[in-house]
Structure 1
Amino acid sequence: MLRLLQIEFQKLWLNRTSRILIYVSFVFPLSILVLSSLKIDIFGRTLDLSQTQIFDFPYIWHISTFFIAFFKFFFAIVVVSMIGNEYSNGTLKQNLIDGLSKKEMILSKFYFIVAYAFIVTALVFFITLFIGLANAPKSNMFLDIIFDGTEYIVAYFFKLVAFFSLCFFAGVIIKRSAFALGALFIVFITEMILLALTWNEWANEQVAVAIFKYMPFTSMWRLINQPVYRMANVNNPDSQLITDYAVHGYEIAIASGWIFISIFLSYQLLKRRDL
């Protein structure tokens, strides 16, 4: 495993564009640091976000992972370009000549996806922990309170791996990075339109959720539900908005299923393709 991972990292490191993209992708999680110190002037009044409890434990784990997850669309460029460069540079065929099997080539990409997602997740974990410690009141400085909510970090990791695996599958099918990203966007928009129609026109919320929780993009979204209602309840206890914001094991299982499907189909496609 380490040998395959080393091969993949070395190829990406020697590619200047990939190296820059990886560097930049590690900057995006730092945006939550800017948000934590942001003060907004509204009609002469200053809104200090740090005073709204959104950076207190345990809420910060939910909020940071939800908003940083939007940057995964930039991370997709790194993953799609990884396989796109292999096709354009002819290195897939060269790998076969050098003795790597097609299974090992797929595994090397998957190991990179997992390692990349783990590094990004670890960065998000430490940034979130730092912000929480800097903003939480001293009365909340207990380990059970500080680490309550870290299941969102686990969900964030699976969200990244599932999304990266889907991006990799698109790259294997289409070969060219720009077209692969375009295809992913079309699939995303199509799924959202069908979800909206099922929810509002063809059926109802219950039917839409029951069907689309198994779809790729919706299943990833449901790993970390939006925290807006949760924080509204915290800041206004008299107006309780009903919402399920917990991380569920079955949702992680569905995302894991899409990881397996994406990698398995990528291998089957590559195995049958003449490189």
Structure 2
Amino acid sequence: MKRLLSIELQKIWKNRASRILTITYFLLLTFLSFIASIKFDIGPIHIRLADQGIFDFPFIWHFNTFIAAFLKIFLAVIIVSMMANEYSYGTLKQNLIDGMSKKEFIISKVYTIIAFAAVSTLFVFIVSLILGLVFSSYDEMSIIFSKMDYLFAYFIKLIGFFSFCLFIGVLIKRSAFALGFLFMWFMFEMISYAIAYNNFRNPALIDKIYDYFPLMSMWSLVPQPFTKLNAVRTIGSQLGVEDLRNYDVPYTSVVIVLVWATLFIYASYKIIEKRDL
């Protein structure tokens, strides 16, 4: 494991673009603290996010994992480019000549995916813990370390998304086209969902069906947290709107995403196994 992971990390770190994207990604994660200074108005109501309890425990685990998930596109570019470079620079063929099997090659990519997801999750945990200890109104240990299943959901979300990126990179071989395909698939799920949701008589059934789609299942792992904010609840109560959403981590989605990740990794291996390199 250590040897295979070391080989992959060296490839990434020696590539200037991948190195810059990795550093940028983790720098942006540290900028979560600047969210505290954001202010905006909703009619006569003036909202400063820092005053809405976004850094209070345990809400911070929910809020930060949701926001941090948007930054995963930086690592997605790295993973797609990682596969494209294997073909462009001939490192895949050279690895096989040097004695690495095709199975070990895919396993090395899986180790890299897990490492990126684990380090990202740990980083979000550290940043959130520091921000919470500084800004949160609660300091009881039982409250601080409650609702941390959002971090687990975030980790699974990254595993699923990066596995999808690996599959696309293996399938298409060119990073620009692979990223284009990723965007087109995203648009397909969003647009088809909107059409189906607004034109069929049973929206709840549409939601259940799309929960099995790759990106939709990943999205649902960490529900949006904004309607839990004090200001939004205040506006809702003034309008007579009751919030009945379930904000818990949907563990059915965890299973679905893990199944998709397994299928993507297996499909990547079968493509490499059968492809004439």
- Pairwise mapping of residues 159-170 of structure 1 onto structure 2 (< 5 A)? 159-170=157-168
Give structure 1 stretches of 5+ with no counterpart.
Answer: none
- Pairwise mapping of residues 140-159 of structure 1 onto structure 2 (< 5 A)? 140-159=138-157
Residues 1:69 and 1:98: Cα distance change in structure 2 (over 3 Å): same
After TM superposition, the score normalised by the length of structure 2 is 0.93
Q: Kindly provide the CA deviation profile for residues 139-186 of structure 1, in whole angstroms up to 9, marking residues without a partner as x.
A: x21111011121111100111111011011000000000100000111
Q: Kindly provide the CA deviation profile for residues 74-105 of structure 1, in whole angstroms up to 9, marking residues without a partner as x.
A: 22111111111111001100000000000000
Residue 68 of structure 1 aligns with an amino acid whose one-letter code is: A
2:47/2:231 contact within 8 Å kept: no
Residue 99 of structure 1 aligns with an amino acid whose one-letter code is: G
The answer for the alignment partner of 1:89 in structure 2 is: 89
Shift of 1:233: 8.3
Residues 1:180 and 1:201: Cα distance change in structure 2 (over 3 Å): same
Greater shift, 265-274 or 10-19, is seen at 10-19
Residue 261 of structure 1 aligns with an amino acid whose one-letter code is: L
2:23 matches 1:13: no
The answer for the alignment partner of 2:209 in structure 1 is: 211
SS at structure 2 position matched to 1:241? coil
Residues 1:190 and 1:65: Cα distance change in structure 2 (over 3 Å): same
2:83/2:166 contact within 8 Å kept: yes
Q: Identity, % of aligned pairs?
A: 45
Give, in whole Å, the separation in 2 of the partners of 1:47 and 1:205.
33
2:52/2:230 contact within 8 Å kept: no
Across the aligned residues of Structure 1 and Structure 2, the Cα RMSD in angstroms comes to 2.0
The answer for the alignment partner of 1:119 in structure 2 is: 119
Residue 249 of structure 1 aligns with an amino acid whose one-letter code is: Y
Q: Kindly provide the CA deviation profile for residues 177-204 of structure 1, in whole angstroms up to 9, marking residues without a partner as x.
A: 0100000111110111111122111343
The answer for the alignment partner of 1:248 in structure 2 is: 250
Give, in whole Å, the separation in 2 of the partners of 1:171 and 1:96.
18
Q: Kindly provide the CA deviation profile for residues 202-226 of structure 1, in whole angstroms up to 9, marking residues without a partner as x.
A: 3432111111101001000100111
Residue 114 of structure 2 aligns with an amino acid whose one-letter code is: V
The answer for the alignment partner of 2:226 in structure 1 is: 228
How many residues are paired up? Answer: 273
2:227/2:233 contact within 8 Å kept: no
The answer for the alignment partner of 2:63 in structure 1 is: 63
Give structure 2 stretches of 5+ with no counterpart.
Answer: none
The answer for the alignment partner of 1:191 in structure 2 is: 189
After TM superposition, the score normalised by the length of structure 1 is 0.93
